[in-house]
Chain A
Amino acid sequence: MFYREAGQFKTSYKADQAVFPIFQDKIFVAIWLFIGFVVVPMLASEYMFRAIFIPVIIMALAAIGLNLLVGYCGQVSLGSGAFMAVGAYAAYNFMIRVPELNPLICFLLGGLSATVVGVIFGIPSLRIKGFYLAVATLALQFFTDWTFSRIDWFTNYTPSGSIAVQPIEVLGVVFDSPIRKYFLCLVFLVIFTIIGKNIVRGRIGRAWMATRDMDVAAEIIGIRPVYAKLSAFAVSSFFIGVAGALWAFVHLGSWEPLAFDINLSFSILFMVIIGGLGSIVGGMLGAAFITLLPLFLNQLPVWLGINISTAMISHLEFMIFGALIIFFLAVEPLGLARIWQITKEKLRLWPFPH
């Protein structure tokens, strides 16, 4: 528990600009990577991969993506479900129409398709803000729900309108077991996290934050709000689109348009708010929290040996989410990530609080 800066003098700006400037931060990251790549695979059961780790990882990717837009650039969006749907359906269509393509390339193409849609639906953000923008992105949600359930071409004319896919195969490796799927998703998350972190600490990230905090001032120092906002929509949609493709192909395996409805959009937004606006770690914490809370609430009565109906539990779930969201919006807009940071600051001073 020696999380300290003391004695670590940065002798160059390069060192000071590293992603994790404090040595102990590097240790934290190394520990998390070790847990992710070694400890979890050794200990977790198939059920845990399927019910916990895979969905949390994919949702973390989506939440990081949304956080780039909402938390860093300040543009509200209720369209994450739609971007995930675009990613999933586009990947599916690339896969069946160009069978020789590597599935991972198809996932990325799914992400790029979401980027295109994101930029188009980001255009209203150049004129409108806040609540009105949220409503405009909501329109996208209804638009994709309708498109993918009514235009049969997208589902390759399957009679039921739902899609079922085989486990993907990459370079001879079939991703059929939960542990392989888990590794695949984890690698995606790690790579996208690094990219996200790189973007937000550089010029583009500063342009986003400047636009979020004070757009007039951003413009007078040469940041074009048009570029800042549309690039945030583009990058964010790409992340969310790739998450959508993973969700469909790796987590669900078979799905229908309802899998990507407005509820999913809200869930991801809640992850961002509870996890912490404007924080990459926040996206992960929020995803873990929101995915695990229902599981936890379901188990709680069993552990406590009391009898609560499932209906009651799902009511409880809503009430807890509601209370938490109000709490975080009103009291701690920086969310769980801020609490994590405060803990680290405490550790830094521990055991002498002054």
Chain B
Amino acid sequence: MNDTDRKLGPTILKVESISLAFGGVKALTNISFEVKQHEILAIIGPNGAGKSSMLNVINGVYHPNAGSITYKGNVRQQMKPYEAASQGIARTFQNIALFKGMSVLDNIMTGRTLKMNAGFLAQCLHIGPARNEEIEHRKKVEEIIDFLQIQSIRKTPVGRLPYGLQKRVELGRALAAEPELLLLDEPMAGMNIEEKEDMSRFILDVNDEFGTTIVLIEHDMGVVMDLSDRIVVLDYGKKIGDGTPTEIRNNKEVIDAYLGVSD
């Protein structure tokens, strides 16, 4: 059902010949692929293959040594994190990167930062624009809280939450930015089956309802095959496969390098 009833748009992101090295370690070598609007693209590969590095290049946390990134028609040598955020790219991290000392609500509210613009003085006095803005954005955040079914923990400091819920809150923070392109780094790692099912449903709903383009890294092949429109396979920093789930399942090189070994 994946491929048939979906309407993919034009290319939103195109990375070309990206290479990235840390000292002698070649994390990425000459990687190129495209992501179409409204697509769910999965990046798979064994540990250390360069998957997280690839996401870091896309939203500007790492700067590649070579190659280019074309996002929404603009070609760049590299992204900057702030620029990526303001252009509609949001993400979650493999090792949860929430703001530990803040409540769930405040964490998700930070996702609205770029949409808020009340002046400094108004904020000091909490008058007019500042107060209205807080309320207006709080409404949006409450919608996300409802969507992710985390109403009961909205005032809890995130540091006290179990791992699975933290992953959910981190997704919430990314969604609060209303991104066009959402990068998810192992959103289901360490979860039990039920939590994985919830998370899969959230991802599909986000893609469906808001039309968000999603690039996700995931190890669970069952989940990957179910969710994604297309799969890019990395191994030792090189791309060894790119295609629909069916194509990847039958790709000899991929089976040898990865699928055969893992499940």
Contacts and interface: CB of A to CB of B under 8 A. Distances in A.
19 contacts: A17-B138, A195-B124, A199-B123, A202-B123, A202-B126, A206-B106, A209-B106, A213-B98, A217-B97, A219-B82, A219-B85, A220-B84, A220-B90, A221-B111, A221-B113, A222-B114, A222-B177, A231-B120, A278-B101
Contacts of A206: 102, 106, 109-110, 113
Interface of A: 12-14, 16-17, 195, 198-199, 201-204, 206-207, 209-210, 212-214, 216-224, 231, 278
By CB atoms of chain B within 10 A, which of A216, A221, A223 has the most? A221
Interface SS of chain A: helix
A220 B174 CA distance: 9
Nearest to A209: B102
Interface string B73-110: 00000000110111000110100011111100010011
Interface residues of B, number: 41
Contacts of B91: 220
Contacts of A222: 82, 85-86, 113-114, 177
A14 B81 CA distance: 32
B94 to A, nearest CB: 12
A342 to B, nearest CB: 14
B85 A198 contact: no
Contacts of B100: 213-214
Nearest to A224: B82
A117 to B, nearest CB: 19
Interface of B: 59-61, 81-82, 84-86, 90-91, 93, 97-102, 106, 109-111, 113-114, 116, 118, 120, 123-126, 130-131, 133-135, 138-139, 142, 173-174, 177
A223 B123 contact: no
Nearest to B183: A220
A212 B113 CA distance: 16
Nearest to A333: B101
B113 A203 contact: yes
Given A204-B120, A213-B99, A220-B85, A198 B125 contact: yes
A35 B118 CA distance: 35
A259 B120 CA distance: 33
Contacts of A203: 113, 116, 118, 123, 133-134
B93 A217 contact: yes
A220 B120 contact: no
A206 B138 CA distance: 13
Contacts of B102: 206, 209-210, 213
B93 A221 contact: no
A199 B121 CA distance: 9
B134 A202 contact: yes
A1 to B, nearest CB: 23
Contacts of A221: 85, 90, 110-111, 113-114, 173-174, 177
Given A203-B133, A218-B99, 10 more contacts: A13-B138, A14-B135, A206-B113, A209-B99, A216-B97, A217-B93, A217-B99, A220-B60, A221-B90, A223-B113
